[in-house]
Amino acid sequence: MVLMSWDWAKQIHPTVVDGKTLVFIGGTWHWTEWQTKPYHTDPATGEKRPLTAEEVEKYFYYTLFAAGEPGKKPVTLSQPFVWYVAANAGKDNPKYEELKDVYHKIAFLLVLKANDPDLVAIHSIISSHLPITKTATNLLYDETFIEKLKTLNLDLDPKVNEAIKPIVEKT
């Protein structure tokens, strides 16, 4: 398939945001991406720039996928991910047999941390995805949490804060 060999940042997104496609199957996460990455060629200046929120709202329409069966409801798939850790992760370590249980515990802790409600809520907000847990959903309605995110006053690595700052400012 040609689409899979195209460069998303150089070909697919610019083609979509510049109105050169009739239909694009994307997701709510593009709302933020198109406002933070310079995919759009400004017709007045010829320069690349992100879209404004008003432009995204004006040019794009979001809808659910049609139901798979007559009479059923339309559907969405906002968070299609799964955590996968190979049962033999670490097998190349000469001490693998001795450390196998440690590898399994570390894998468990990584998956547990990846599902941390704060991280899931932050991801949901800055990517426009639906949260995957009720606890994370509740944080979306917590004014203290939202204010901490707006001011980047959360317990995150400074490099993470710096990386998400422009996205937080747009959302």
Q: Which tens digit of pLDDT belongs to each residue from 41-94?
A: 999 999 999 999 899 999 988 888 888 899 998 877 666 667 888 888 888 999
> Nearest Cα to 139, choosing from 157, 124, 155?
124
pLDDT at 3: 57
pLDDT at 160: 92
pLDDT at 32: 84
pLDDT at 114: 87
pTM assigned to the model: 0.66
Q: Where are the beta strands (DSSP E) in 15-131?
A: 40-41, 48-49
pLDDT at 134: 94
pLDDT at 48: 97
Q: Cα separation of 119 and 154, whole Å?
A: 10
Q: How confident is the model at residue 9 (pLDDT cuts 50, 70, 90)?
A: confident
Q: What is the mean pLDDT of the chain?
A: 88
N- to C-terminal Cα distance for the chain?
A: 34
User: What tokens appear for 55 in the block?
Assistant: 């432009």
For 120, phi then psi, to 5°, come to: -65, -40
> Nearest Cα to 160, choosing from 118, 132, 115, 104?
118
pLDDT at 1: 47
